[in-house]
Structure 1
């Protein structure tokens, strides 16, 4: 009976896999062409003193993929340029807001303060101020763009290589391009809207070091996070507060305050940590150097799952079993021998 059930299960899984594979192929065949389907991200391009990075990439792929290679686009370190563009966009949004505000009330020009968060500083005309700031940023953006184009140090050893067919891109993305496994590294290029540009200029050696550091950091974060949490929870208890701040004892003795401390504060530190945990894991994933936003989210989600698995599921089981065994040992008479399992 067991063999029949196993055979039936395998047969059903085979048919289900065939159906899913057929649906996937039909979807890919009916889908419109996208640039990322024909593009491969090439990293760690070896330097050549006689050729630029673009020329090196083009020469390499014309030799190794002559029938399918189309073109390439070298990656530039334009992180500063991206920050300036982001600042100008923010200023433009504020300018649109003040212009809309002024269009609704022409009797008074909008006024703002130039200090911290607009709370202090000199009062100026908001529209004129943001127009001047946008003009200044536009000039800086143009200068930075020219610097990136002319500065050879801004050219990174990475490029987006496009092919004439999906098959050519797939062959390049899934095969080793050189005898040296650390050079000419290829992977599928993410969609244009999915590219995380700040991580593209990171060198290959730095990527390995970063991921090792983050792996060690995640290990300590997972297995030793209860130490600082327990310390904070101890301080959040009534006894801990009385030891640290004895002058608060009259306030702590109040019935309402005591109930709040006993019911809320002990678990508040853990809840706050779990709230900020996804953001911490996302920062760690960005530090590792992933090149797409989806891969960043995938890594953060995977580590969040592992964290909860170790600390919530396995931790509660192990801690519960250990406490139960300890309670048994404490209540057991000294003249009795423990039972053998």
Structure 2
């Protein structure tokens, strides 16, 4: 590919961006589209009236200025800590690739361009390979420039990573300390409650925690089977009872026919049956909760520290019973997965892994097709009738410079929904954990298919034969990556620039709004947007571009300016979307930053590995020797960050939780917190059955004694049951153990 083809692709994408940005600046001013482009503001009860004037139909860049002026505090207030972390990833990318672009443009690009003694053409007619490290001859003394640039990029990236990690860690601590009392801090999720034929799950759980956590246990709330399947089962049980009652009625009718007053007797019988059916009908609508109980429950504790300790330690000697985890926030609970048996989770993870790998292999087909488009000689052999058309210069530039990346982007649109489905099947108990898992899957998928498969020519056969051993991998990558750098540059244009234009336009919500407003004629209240930020789509895209930027920085520095423009546009577009469009329903507390940090470190290590291979191919022992310390230092830096910052993202510290508990006691709002806990985790799909829930689900102990006399008696019985017994009573002993999952 030559510079002209790259400029053609850049021109097409610039035109698409300008047109869509102009349309957006006009459409956002229309009152009929306010629910599409200002969904978050509508949810916050802002005004939706826009004055009618000529300015509504004139494109303007005012939204760019407003997005630039937004402060981090506003983003934190409106989008949560996850939104701040997302913007920080963009800021980090802008900083590190600004440094990379300056260094590589000044030091590396001239060395690459003048690496071979050749007659250069006019710049637009030059091949892009001239600007890559392929153009540097073997044994060149100028390869020290590439090694020095790699050092500067690595040191800059690690320094910026450290300060960003430290800053985001402090933000997370402030987020935990400064937020109002969070119900999830007092709550744990208990799964795999042992089954007992003598009592319900609710009674078993109450007996266990009242005895083993007597001083800290507050109450609990059982989780019930819900969903469409359960509703159908409940309806079927109700129908069966009605049919059974009707059959009993027909069977009993002759017994009343022998009475002296058959008419009055029949009426009396019907009245009795009606009254009976009335009672049973109400009971059927509120089926026995013990039959609908799952072996899972939310358990509430009197303090945050007690909940943390109960969640982190094993409750019994059998780790498969009484499994405890910190509960998600109430709005973050993914109710569909709460009732999944704990023993099924490992099977689900294996199935999900196998399905993801199979999906990756199936995706080799479109990637192979895309690779065929980048090589005209192969394309002409496959489709001889296109030979004449492909000789046209403009068609040639579009086919090689624009079409392959666009086709790949269209195929990749199907990846995030599939990975979100896989993450749901995997068994995540929270929506944020599901989105985080989907984010990792999409990231691995795109790095593999966009980078590695394209580097290894996109065919399974060539992937298997591209290297004979693992030791040959760096050398083979060193040959293949510079050759594919031009495709990666066009991919940044198509998947980067154009995707931002489509993101700000919100094409699908806009079409849905038009259909609902002008065809279905829905009312204004039914048109509110309810979109949450697609972290599982956008975070992998940014990290993929960062991976490509680090990998190709010294190999093909011509990519860096295009990449930098993307990060600047993304910074403005996503700030606008966070403030105006997306509604924050839940927050993971910045859990996406460790993913970004790990991916960046992997990108640095991979770029250093390829640099070692390139310097080896170019027979530069000096550059190779100076590059060897870089991976070692990068790994040491990564290990330090893992030990210093990562524990803050995994669990809350005892010091902070105890200080928060004492602050609540000092302010006298402990009772208020306890009252809010009982209503925080409401399973909306449940049928109302207040009697059973108040009897068991909201059980409390006596506040003065800390443990009721009934619980004391049950505790004594438990101790007696766990003592050694004669052989003839072994069966009863095993049943007592089964209640609490004790394995001796």
**Common fold by TM > 0.5:** yes
The answer to whether the 8 A contact 2:364-2:453 is kept is no
1:35 and 2:183 equivalent? yes
Aligned with 1:311 (options 449, 470, 476):
449
The answer to whether the 8 A contact 2:366-2:411 is kept is no
Equivalences for residues 234-253 of structure 1 within 5 A: none
The answer to whether the 8 A contact 1:233-1:269 is kept is no
1:285 and 2:423 equivalent? yes
Q: CA deviation at 1:31?
A: 3.0
Aligned with 2:338 (options 200, 217, 221):
200
User: Which residue of 1 is the match for residue 554 of structure 2?
Assistant: none
User: Which residue of 2 is the match for residue 137 of structure 1?
Assistant: none
Higher relative contact order (CA 8 A, sep 6+): 2
Equivalences for residues 19-168 of structure 1 within 5 A: 28-80=176-228, 147=285, 149-150=287-288, 152-168=290-306
The answer to whether the 8 A contact 1:75-1:155 is kept is yes
- Classify 1:33/1:81 alpha carbon distance in 2 versus 1 (closer, same or farther; 3 Å): farther
Q: CA deviation at 1:276?
A: 1.6
User: Which residue of 1 is the match for residue 325 of structure 2?
Assistant: 187
User: Which residue of 2 is the match for residue 119 of structure 1?
Assistant: none
User: Which residue of 1 is the match for residue 634 of structure 2?
Assistant: none
The answer to whether the 8 A contact 1:238-1:262 is kept is no
- Classify 1:49/1:83 alpha carbon distance in 2 versus 1 (closer, same or farther; 3 Å): closer
- Classify 1:73/1:278 alpha carbon distance in 2 versus 1 (closer, same or farther; 3 Å): same
The answer to whether the 8 A contact 1:71-1:163 is kept is yes
Q: CA deviation at 1:216?
A: 1.7
The answer to whether the 8 A contact 1:76-1:148 is kept is no
- In 1, Cα distance between the equivalents of 2:170 and 2:214? 32
* 3-state SS of paired residue (1:40): strand
Write 1 or 2 for the structure with the bigger share of strand: 1
- In 2, Cα distance between the equivalents of 1:287 and 1:270? 27
* 3-state SS of paired residue (1:46): coil
User: Which residue of 2 is the match for residue 270 of structure 1?
Assistant: 408
- In 1, Cα distance between the equivalents of 2:426 and 2:282? 27
User: Which residue of 2 is the match for residue 169 of structure 1?
Assistant: 307
- Classify 1:238/1:293 alpha carbon distance in 2 versus 1 (closer, same or farther; 3 Å): farther
- In 2, Cα distance between the equivalents of 1:297 and 1:270? 23
Q: CA deviation at 1:154?
A: 2.1
Q: How many residues align?
A: 254
The answer to whether the 8 A contact 1:78-1:148 is kept is no
Return the index of the structure with the highest Cα Rg. 2
- Classify 1:145/1:20 alpha carbon distance in 2 versus 1 (closer, same or farther; 3 Å): farther
Q: CA deviation at 1:61?
A: 0.7
The answer to whether the 8 A contact 1:68-1:163 is kept is yes
1:211 and 2:349 equivalent? yes
Report the TM-score, using the length of structure 1 for normalisation. 0.59
- In 2, Cα distance between the equivalents of 1:283 and 1:324? 36
User: Which residue of 1 is the match for residue 106 of structure 2?
Assistant: none
The answer to whether the 8 A contact 2:371-2:454 is kept is no
Aligned with 2:364 (options 215, 222, 226):
226
- In 2, Cα distance between the equivalents of 1:146 and 1:241? 68
Q: Deviations over 1:16-53 (max 9, x none)?
A: 96x98777656544432121110000011110111111
User: Which residue of 1 is the match for residue 435 of structure 2?
Assistant: 297
Report the TM-score, using the length of structure 2 for normalisation. 0.29
- Classify 1:233/1:241 alpha carbon distance in 2 versus 1 (closer, same or farther; 3 Å): farther
* 3-state SS of paired residue (2:331): helix
The answer to whether the 8 A contact 1:81-1:145 is kept is no
Across the aligned residues of Structure 1 and Structure 2, the Cα RMSD in angstroms comes to 4.5
Q: CA deviation at 1:273?
A: 2.3
- Classify 1:26/1:265 alpha carbon distance in 2 versus 1 (closer, same or farther; 3 Å): closer
The answer to whether the 8 A contact 1:79-1:197 is kept is no
User: Which residue of 1 is the match for residue 564 of structure 2?
Assistant: none
- Classify 1:197/1:324 alpha carbon distance in 2 versus 1 (closer, same or farther; 3 Å): closer
- In 2, Cα distance between the equivalents of 1:144 and 1:268? 59
